Amino acid sequence: MANKEKELPDYSEPPVVEVACGVIFDPLRNLLAPHFGLLWEQFREEYPQCQEVPPLTAVSESFEQGGAQRLRVGFGTLPPLPRIWFHHKSGNGLIQLQRDRFHYNWRKVGPLDAYPHYESVIGCFKKHFEQVEAFLRDNSMPEIRPVQYEMTYVNHIELTSPLGAVGAVFPDFDWQGNRARFLPVPEAINWQMAFPMPSQSGRLHVTVSNAIRVHDKKPIINLELTARGVPRESPKDRVGEWFDIAHEWIVRGFTDLTSDNVHELWKRTR
């Protein structure tokens, strides 16, 4: 993978503001609220703050005829538990855990925070996921059985012109404003696309929408790329391979969808 990694496009100043790596698994029915507190002790030195948030509903990819995605809902007779966030002391790292999923997020919280690149993020994900697995073993719980992996990159692209000029960033979505037309320049956009990954191992989902950035109230384009799926054989043994492929599809997809002009702005190095 090292040689292949060198061939991927790279940017010194990419617009990425968040990266999430996650695994969805069969619900851990023996995982109770007190276990979250015990598990926090494993992370507390680095992640001194915790928070309860609503649990996420899993969306699974299907390649059967008649549907691309399916909701995966329900824990049977188990009472609901919240999703727990463990916040890193730097503010950039976030561990998320609920009965049927684990995530690690890197987040840009300050204007000078630099994206640490894939190797760092996936390294933190693997490290903390192994800690969770060790905790389960030490407490005589069943091992995790993955049913799906996810990787998401969120990018904030500052708007320097009206939405009608969005084609300068995304050539595939150029607004034809150079001809007489009835409709005015759009005031909002929300494009969604899905692309199949190799060997039915997942899909790359892309969303392009306009938004207002919270901290400075500037108009932006929110570009979100999510790879979601699972290897068709031996998913637990091939977790690293799947994330490497997902990362490649996200990076090449990002590059394919955006223009050469903004690549220069983001200081593309290869």
Both tokens of 3, joined, read: 């040689």
Concatenated DSSP letters of 67-130: -SEEEE---TTPPP--EEEEE-TTSSEEEEEETTEEEEEEE--STTPPP--HHHHHHHHHHHHH
pLDDT digits (tens, 9 = 90+) for 223-244: 999 999 988 777 777 889 999 9
The reported pTM is 0.91
What is the pLDDT at residue 117?
A: 92
Q: Is residue 270 in a domain?
A: no
- Residue 19: give the domain boundaries: 2-265
Has residue 140 been placed in a domain?
yes
At 72-126, the pLDDT tens digits run 555 556 778 899 999 999 999 999 999 999 999 999 999 889 999 999 999 999 9
Q: Does 221 map to a domain?
A: yes
- For 48-80, the pLDDT digits (tens) are 999 999 999 878 888 876 556 655 555 556 778
Domain count, the chain: 1
Judge whether 88 lies within some domain: yes
